[in-house]
Amino acid sequence: MPLAAKKLLRREDIDAVVTIGCVIQGETAHDEIVVSQAARKLMDLSLEFDKPVTLGITGPKMSRPDAHKRVDYAKRAVEAAVKLLQRLGGE
């Protein structure tokens, strides 16, 4: 996800990036590492490009049924990006 966000952030016609996804718990703690590192890198990219990047990634320790229950939460990540742009003086 950070690579896709970085490619979008390079574009002048992109004001913000919203990341949406779900990390499902597996047999190891890998889901915790994935979420932690994705969040860190996305924050770094936001600061590097001076553009909002909102985190709509749910997890870790999430089951598939839990993930399906939270699909509507993705809307909040989009709303957060729009509000942040407005507060920062964007469009």
Question: Which residues are known to be catalytic?
Answer: 30
Tell me if 74 sits within 8 A of 20, measured CB to CB. Answer: yes
Q: Could you give the CA distance from residue 38 to residue 34 in angstroms, rounded to a whole number? A: 6
Extended beta strands in the chain, E state? 17-24, 53-62
Greatest Cα pair distance, the chain, in angstroms, is 45
- In the chain, the amino acid numbered 86 is Q
